[in-house]
């Protein structure tokens, strides 16, 4: 019985893929650097994003640098190189397609979708990605309102602001809730603060906080922390746009 042992498979989930960890690091770095509020990608920012010690980040960064996925210089931050960006976007594409799929095909509730996608994103094949994409009709945004990168790595720039940026009296439509935390998402959902909802800012406290908003007939008070996660497109409601 001559065994054919090749399987480094644990490390490379599909054929030629990188480890889950590497994918997670790249995704995190990408999100820090290229989100709508770009911070410098410091070691500790990455560590916090991944709930990992800074020491771990440092060594992974060296490795990613050696792989030319990232540009890293001791004591300064990291930035993503095109190859790394490409991988990050693939993972994010998986994640968002999966979120949408889980919700629309499997009936997942909005707030459960993220955790499941988090695990699946590293594991699905390109075939599965394509089939899901086709089945959903090549969607461009996920259930949270985040844009889904295309296969060639193009991400639509989301044209929205945080709820905190509105002035009292302004009305806008929620197009996205940026938080990952299921509990926060559920809480916001109970307030009807979900994508598509129409919201009006009634009052704003001294330093933007607290924020009093009206959704439908009810009023709610939000802290700045939470409110900034609720992204809105000012003015017209989605419905309005359809009516023309």
Partner DNA sequence: TCCATGAGTTTGATGCGCCTAAAATAATCT
Partner DNA sequence: AGATTATTTTAGGCGCATCAAACTCATGGA
Peptide bond between residue 227 and the one before it cis (omega within 30 degrees of 0): no
Q: Counting contacts by CB under 8 A, is residue 44 touching its own copies?
A: yes
Q: Which of 226, 9, 27 is nearest to 123 (CA)?
A: 9
Q: Which of 94, 116, 86 is nearest to 103 (CA)?
A: 116
Q: Choose the one of its own copies, DNA, none that binds residue 131, judging by a C-beta under 5 to 8 angstroms depending on kind.
A: its own copies
Q: Choose the one of its own copies, DNA, none that binds residue 13, judging by a C-beta under 5 to 8 angstroms depending on kind.
A: its own copies
Nearer to its own copies, 21 or 165 (CB): 21
CA dihedral over 117, 122, 124, 129, signed as positive or negative = positive
Out of 37, 59, 152, 167, point to the residue binding DNA (CB under 7 A): 59
Q: Choose the one of its own copies, DNA, none that binds residue 244, judging by a C-beta under 5 to 8 angstroms depending on kind.
A: none
Output the six-digit token pair for 78: 């990291």
At how many degrees (to 10) do helices 126-135 and 82-106 cross? 50
Out of 43, 164, 228, 229, point to the residue binding DNA (CB under 7 A): 43
Minimum Å gap between C-beta 68 and its own copies is 24
Q: Counting contacts by CB under 7 A, is residue 44 touching DNA?
A: yes
Q: Choose the one of its own copies, DNA, none that binds residue 123, judging by a C-beta under 5 to 8 angstroms depending on kind.
A: its own copies
Q: How many CA atoms lie within 13 A of 139 on its CB side?
A: 24
**Residues pairing with 201 in the sheet:** 213
Out of 35, 106, 225, 240, point to the residue binding its own copies (CB under 8 A): 106
Out of 77, 84, 145, 162, point to the residue binding DNA (CB under 7 A): 77
Q: How many residues at the interface with DNA, by CB under 7 A?
A: 29
E-strand stretches of 117-222: 161-162, 171-177, 198-204, 211-215, 218-222
Residues that bind DNA (CB under 7 A): 1, 5, 7, 10-11, 19, 21-22, 42-44, 50-63, 72, 74-75, 77
């Amino acid at each position: 019985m001559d065994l054919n042992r090749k399987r480094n498979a644990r490390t490379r989930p599909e054929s030629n893929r990188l480890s889950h960890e590497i994918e997670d690091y790249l995704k995190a770095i990408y999100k820090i650097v290229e989100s709508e509020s770009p911070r410098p990608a410091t070691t500790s920012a990455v560590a916090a994003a991944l709930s990992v010690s800074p020491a771990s980040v440092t060594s992974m960064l060296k490795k990613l640098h050696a792989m030319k996925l990232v540009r890293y210089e001791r004591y300064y931050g990291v930035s993503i190189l095109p190859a790394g960006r490409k991988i990050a976007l693939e993972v994010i594409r998986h994640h968002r397609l999966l979120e949408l799929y889980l919700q629309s095909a499997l009936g997942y509730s909005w707030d459960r979708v993220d955790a499941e996608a988090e695990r699946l994103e590293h594991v699905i094949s390109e075939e599965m990605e394509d089939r899901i994409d086709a089945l959903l009709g090549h969607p461009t945004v996920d259930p949270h309102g985040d844009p889904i990168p295309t296969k060639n790595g193009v991400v639509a720039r989301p044209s929205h602001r945080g709820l905190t940026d509105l002035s009292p009296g302004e009305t806008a439509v929620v197009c996205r809730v940026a938080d990952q935390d299921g509990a926060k998402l559920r809480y916001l959902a109970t307030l009807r603060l979900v994508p598509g909802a129409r919201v009006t800012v009634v009052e704003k406290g001294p330093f933007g906080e607290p924020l009093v908003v009206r959704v439908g007939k009810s009023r709610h008070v939000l802290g700045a922390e939470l409110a900034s996660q609720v992204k809105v497109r000012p003015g017209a409601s989605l419905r309005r746009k359809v009516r023309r």
